[in-house]
Amino acid sequence: MSVILAEPFYGGSHKQLTDLLREDVPNCVAYTLPAKKWHWRARTAALHFMQAIPASPSYRVLLASSVLNLAELVALRPDLGKLRKILYFHENQLVYPVRKSQERDFQYGYNQILSCLVADVVVFNSSFNMESFLTSIHTFVKLIPDHRPRDLEARIRPKCQVLHFPIRFPDVRRFLPQHKRARFQGENPFEEGCGPEPLGALSGSENCASVEGPELDTKIPAHGSQIEIHTPLHQEPQCMSQSPAEALHGHGSAAPTRDRDAMVGLCDCGPSGREPLHIVWPHRWEHDKDPELFFETLLKLKERGLSFQVSVLGETFTEVPAIFADAREELGERIVHWGYVPSKEEYLKALCQADVVISTAKHEFFGVAMLEAVHCGCYPLCPKTLVYPEIFPAEYLYSTPEQLLKRLQGFCRRPDVVRRHRVQVDTALFSWETLKGSFRTLLAADASELH
């Protein structure tokens, strides 16, 4: 084997990337630690890998995730320091949100800076991840009381590049309701080996995400094509070219409330033709995903007498924000799914049933959660910040909680508008089929080329 994959936190997106590379890139061997006790993995994994990775003259490349303190490893194993050292950032600790500034442990961000300094190539899963890390270095080192290092960003930036997280997209067509059937025009946008049988072999989702620490939003992979929703035959043709906002408000002028309300439940565009808007929130039940904003928005919809259903997916951990218990009681019969879905197939089915997928995240470095929901035919609504503007057109972004509420209020009144909309997100850009050539090139270079 000539490529070492060192992953201290083998779970979620970290596991999926490791598995893809090991399976599809020749001559890779992986050394991993279970996805538990993230803080201890970041502190001590180098010592473990010092002993776990055997010496071999055939190694040429070392790829590690940024959980590993690469500087410690190469100091402990000088033979590994001679390899081409690649660091991959799923998340960065310089801007990872904490509830109080004093809760941020300086050591984790410091370890990542040291790792960048000894790496030959530093790869980020998004431009947002890269820029937020690099531009935060100067402020971060000011926390050092004296004798602060200088020009660290200038030393690290030339090594950096963006290579989006690769997603292996399963075929979900068998789960789509009739109104979501996509038109593929004779093409097969699904990757080989991702049909019904291999589904169970796919890596977990944010539904199976990690606890606080690395971002592990990698769920069941998303679809590699634009989704085109069939328009109900009775809909008037002029609506086909309109965006949902235009269809709801007549290019900026709101339709009379009486007329809009009269249309609720009359369109034959849901599974039964009269079902209310189905909203899904497929995220970890933790503070950085801002469940408070999500549930506050839903309760306002309820107070206004609007019809909707909701599925709240994602894994729970020891400390669950209190808002979940309160919201479950308040939402009652409107709930379709609640909580962690251990079956990947059932998770996909749940996404395929939904109409709109919401992110209220305070933290997102890539966001497979939203991409996979688009794959399953959902209309995305995301904050106009973090990584989202890098991936989603402006139509799918909101700037304020009021804007989110207004969009959902309109969709509750006219779910047919969402159900016939074609989502303008080319998720093929993030597929393993598209990106695997770049990863193979990254791992193919010989360490001698550096000298």
Let me know whether 297 and 422 are in one domain: yes
Domain count, the chain: 2
Instruction: Supply the range of the domain harboring residue 61.
Output: 3-165+432-450
Task: Say if CB 398 and CB 381 are below 8 A apart.
Answer: yes
Let me know whether 49 and 146 are in one domain: yes
β-strands 121-124, 84-89: how paired?
Answer: parallel
Let me know whether 206 and 241 are in one domain: yes
Let me know whether 161 and 215 are in one domain: no
Let me know whether 196 and 68 are in one domain: no
Q: How much is the pTM?
A: 0.78
What residues form DSSP beta bridges with 282?
313
Let me know whether 110 and 194 are in one domain: no
Let me know whether 9 and 110 are in one domain: yes
Residue 243: predicted pLDDT: 59
DSSP string for residues in 169-234: ----GGGS-GGG----TT---SPTT-STGGGGGSPP-GGG--SSSS-----S---SS-B-PPPPTT
CATH number, position 12: 3.40.50.2000
pLDDT digits over 82-130, tens only? 999 999 999 999 987 665 555 568 999 999 999 999 999 999 999 999 9
Let me know whether 268 and 369 are in one domain: yes
Let me know whether 338 and 192 are in one domain: yes
Q: pLDDT over 70 for what percent of the chain?
A: 76
pLDDT digits over 258-290, tens only? 333 322 232 334 444 579 999 999 998 988 899
Let me know whether 344 and 278 are in one domain: yes
Task: Say if CB 385 and CB 287 are below 8 A apart.
Answer: no
Let me know whether 332 and 422 are in one domain: yes
Amino acid at 428: A
Let me know whether 364 and 215 are in one domain: yes
